[in-house]
Structure 1
Amino acid sequence: MELELLTSLSQINAAEWDALAPPGHPLLSHHFLHGLETSGCTTEDAGWQPCHLRLWDGDKTLALAPSYLKSHSYGEYVFDWAWADAWHRSGLNYYPKLVTGIPFTPATGPRLLLAQDADADAVYAALIAGVSQWAQQQSVSSWHLLFPEQSVCDSLAEKGMHRRVATQFHWHNRGYRDFDDFLDTFSSRKRKSLRRERRRVQEQGLKLHTLVGNDINAGHWGQFYRFYQMTYAKRSGHGGYLSREFFTQVAASMGDRAVMVLAEHESGPVAAALYFRSNDTLFGRYWGCIKEFDCLHFEACYYRGIEYCIAEGINTFDPGAQGEHKIQRGFEPRLTFSNHWIAEPGLDAAVADFTAREAEQVEAYRKEAATLLPFK
């Protein structure tokens, strides 16, 4: 088996990439990932230099993985700033590092895309051997695989890549007929509180519309970028990771995989939430507003997403990273995973110790968070 590193997705045919990607998963499609490149979001200047993995066996592609050579740790949602500081204090460079994942997207799913008849164990071993050899030759400090499925994470851990865990909050569709049916699973007090939030949105004169695919026109995409940019500026002091071209050209051409909840007030549109959907999961991705309203964020980013999942028969709603406020709204704590290979032996041992101790704390937190769910 031979490892090749691609400096752009333009170096591989879209059909060949998508043949290995899970069907119906928009965030792993060639269109989405290549669009991040062409719209200026994942470039060397942005600190996301494409470095996609391709494993060959003869003339056959056995595996592909969206990967990036990183000069910082922004936009990953598996936080390793303390690791970078430890490298610096040891007189070593943490950057560049290699990251395999979907940029700016803390969503669990396939990361190593395998040919249907590939031997997974053999492929994983070959990838680890190939990446580690390349990384040491290129003075790359480490390789990080972000948000893989648990089974893949466990297999890689058995082969020497450290296993790290964290917690997110996801909603699960248990065959609900409608939103009220979902609320019937809540305790009386929690149910009243949530209904009060939804009424508050109506009392402020807000009207929300769920738009799908071609219902989202060019004007909506332009407005959304404005909302997104202003919200990032208020929260983080910069205009966000994604460019106008990403929204108006890439996201706008994703068809029914794109879902937007648009909020209007007397003066016109004031906020919006953007989702992408696969065949079985709704991914809540971005939110923006130009004016603050009580409970609007909860309505646009959570409740309308739940309603959409129920109407469409979607199993899981993944609204993104962090947010303990999601618990009382019926989003259940679940573990997420990452794997880490470290070139420097002394720091490799430190990471092994850290991830083991951290895992105990994360599991205790997940169990405690589950006790706070609003269900009867």
Structure 2
Amino acid sequence: MTTLNLEAEWIDSIERVTEEAWNRLLEARPYPFLDWRWLRGLERSGSACQAEGWAPCHLLLRHRGRLVAAAALYLKAHSRGEFVFDQEWAHVSLQVGVPYYPKLLGMSPFSPAIGYRFLTDPDWDETSLYRRLMIEIDDFCAGKDIQGCHFLHGDPNFVDQMRQLGLKYWLHHGLIWENPGFANFDDYLATFRSHQRKNIRRERRKVRESGIHFRVLSGERIPAEYFQHMFLFYSATCVKYWGYSYYLKQAFFHELAVHLADRIAFVCAFEPDRELPIAMSLLVHEGEWLFGRYWGCLEEYDYLHFETCYYQAIEWAIQRGIRYYDAGSGGASQKKHRGFPARPKPSLHRFYHPIMGRIWDANIDRINDLEQEQIDMINGDRRDRS
């Protein structure tokens, strides 16, 4: 079917399209952070909105009224909450007199997890729909005098498709644990050399000796009040470690409780004399993937973070046959010594102003070579130590 017969529409709220129509395009390759309910929760809670510099600007393609393609997009007035740190490019743009903001951004807000893509009807040719979406995006940016479009945390197929359409990539890396078919946690430990196995067992033993025990709760087994408890942990962690106000509003956690509990698991740490958890991590699961998103604690204990965010989650993933665990951004040195190899994670960019385009082309290959060296170093160091 030809894309000439498609009607394009830009919408300023995910609620201007139905959940059924949007999620139908997601069924072939599920990704929880593009689920209509997740995006609506971000918008409805005020976490991703124009006032926060995340103006929803989603693109739809319809054929005879039926949705056949969609792109979750945002007009951004800053680079916060993206976890691809392009402030240096913005500084270069300022120096040469080219505006960098607003920019058009494709990602699920605040979710640096591989999997973003354009959503397409499986009965249509994906490449043709991608090409038509990019034509609409280019025309939109030209009409609004937007100097760049950027797509972050894309899945590998999306990256390949977009490179064929002329977008240039900027290489980053993520650290993702893979389960080759472990039967239990001891199988996971067996992949390490003896000294690292001893370190992990020692860390777990220290937590147990402190009197802390754990429960992993998922779906309908999660008490409703735990979502608000998780918000307190999340917000306190943001302020404590990064010194800025948190991105997600309290109302977003209510949205998760009401509409997305089926995709959520909490790792909960308890002291014997406390009814509520003293530490929690929030996991999102979908198919063969597990994503670690937020964590926090009320009391400081040695190795509590490792147990809450890594070991308990890995054990839970093994029990359920989950293949991949993306534990979130940060903590590279911690992760690489616990079985999380570095994986290439390109972002995609198109600069419309010729000056920025030339600067990008002159430098990006060298930048990518340096990042690949970093990936090789991380994985080589891990092989030496495991």
Q: 1:338 aligns with which of 347, 368, 371?
A: 347
Unaligned runs of 5+ in 1: none
Task: Please report how far the alpha carbon of residue 261 of structure 1 lies from its aligned counterpart in structure 2 after TM superposition.
Answer: 0.6
Once structures 1 and 2 are overlaid, which stretch shifts more, 152-161 or 176-185?
A: 152-161
Instruction: Tell me, yes or no, if the aligned pair for 2:72 and 2:107 is still in contact at 8 Å.
Output: yes
Identify the residue that residue 258 of structure 1 maps to in structure 2: 264
Q: In the alignment, what sits opposite 1:117? A: 123
> Is 1:362 paired with 2:368?
no
- For 2:321, the aligned partner's letter is G
Shift of the alpha carbon at 1:237?
Answer: 2.1
Stretches of structure 2 that go unaligned for 5 or more consecutive residues are: 1-5
* Structure 1 counterpart of 2:25, from 20, 31, 47: 20
SS at match of 1:355: helix
Alignment of 1:68-107 (within 5 A): 68-107=74-113
Asked if 2 retains the 8 angstrom alpha-carbon contact of 1:41 and 1:243, the reply is yes
Query: Sequence identity of aligned pairs in percent?
Result: 35
Which segment is superposed worse, 170-179 or 220-229?
220-229
TM-score (norm 1): 0.95
- Please state how far the C-alpha of 1:300 moved relative to its aligned partner: 0.6
CA distance in 1, matches of 2:201, 2:362: 46
Q: Write out per-residue CA displacement over residues 116-149 of structure 1, whole angstroms, 9 at most, x where no aligned residue.
A: 1222222222222211111111121211111112
Are positions 1:299 and 2:307 aligned together?
yes
Aligned pair 1:108/2:114, yes or no? yes
Contact 1:169 1:322 (C-alpha < 8 Å) held by counterparts? no
Distance change >3 Å, CA 356–CA 4, structure 1 → 2: farther
Separation in 2 of the partners of 1:219 and 1:250? 12
Decide which moves more: 264-273 or 331-340: 264-273
Residues 216-227 of structure 1 mapped to structure 2, 5 A cutoff: 216-227=222-233
Distance 2:361 2:68 in 1: 30
| Secondary structure, aligned partner of 2:50 | coil
**Residue 209 of structure 1: SS of its match in structure 2?**
strand
Aligned partner of 2:3 in structure 1 is none
* Structure 1 match to 2:320: 312
Amino acid at match of 1:314: I
Distance, in Å, in 1 between the alignment partners of 2:61 and 2:145 is 21
Aligned AA for 1:332?
Answer: P
Residue 206 of structure 1 is matched in structure 2 by 212
* 1:314 CA drift (Å): 0.7
Partner Cα distance (1:258, 1:69) in 2: 28
Q: 2:11: which partner in 1? A: 6
| Preserved contact between residue 144 and residue 338 of structure 1 (Cα < 8 Å) | yes
What's the offset of the Cα at 1:57?
4.2
What RMSD, in angstroms, separates the aligned Cα atoms of the two structures?
Answer: 1.7
2:142 equivalent to 1:144: no
Alignment of 1:118-137 (within 5 A): 118-137=124-143
- Secondary structure of the residue aligned to 1:373 is helix
Q: In 1, are the aligned partners of 2:37 and 2:259 still within 8 Å (CA)?
A: no
Q: Counterpart amino acid of 2:21? A: E
TM (norm. structure 2) is 0.93
Other-structure match for 1:285: 293
After TM superposition, give the deviation of residue 110 of structure 1 in Å: 4.0
What is the count of residue pairs matched by the alignment? Answer: 376
Give the whole-Å Cα distance in 1 for the aligned partners of 2:280 and 2:361: 42
Distance 1:125 1:249, change over 3 A: closer
Question: What's 2:175 paired with?
Answer: 169
Structure 2 counterpart of 1:373, from 372, 379, 382: 382
Classify the secondary structure of the residue corresponding to 1:320.
Answer: coil
Does the CA contact (< 8 Å) of 2:19 and 2:36 recur in 1?
yes
| 1:291-321 deviation line (CA, Å, top 9, x unaligned) | 2211111111111111111001111001112
1:48-68 CA deviation, whole Å, 9 max, x = no partner?
A: 110011123454433111111
Measure, in 2, the Cα distance between the counterparts of 1:80 and 1:341.
13
CA contact (8 A) 1:230 1:239 kept: no
One-letter amino acid of the structure 2 residue matched with residue 208 of structure 1: F
Q: Does the 8 A contact of 2:288 with 2:324 survive in 1?
A: yes
Is the partner of 1:171 in helix, strand or coil? strand
Which moves more between the two structures, 198-207 or 302-311? 198-207
> 1:22 touches 1:28 (CA, 8 Å); kept in 2?
no
Measure how far apart 1:16 and its partner are.
0.2
The C-alpha deviation readout for 1:170-222, integer Å capped at 9, x for no partner, is 11111111001110111101110111111111122212211111222122112
What's the secondary structure of 1:262's corresponding residue?
strand
Q: Does residue 242 of structure 2 align to residue 233 of structure 1?
A: no
- The 1-side partners of 2:164 and 2:31 are apart by 28
Amino acid aligned to 2:255: Q
Deviations 1:11-60 (A, max 9, x none): 10110000001365322211111111111111100111100111234544
SS in structure 1 opposite 2:171?
A: strand
Displacement of 1:266: 5.1
CA-CA distance at 1:252 after TM superposition: 4.6
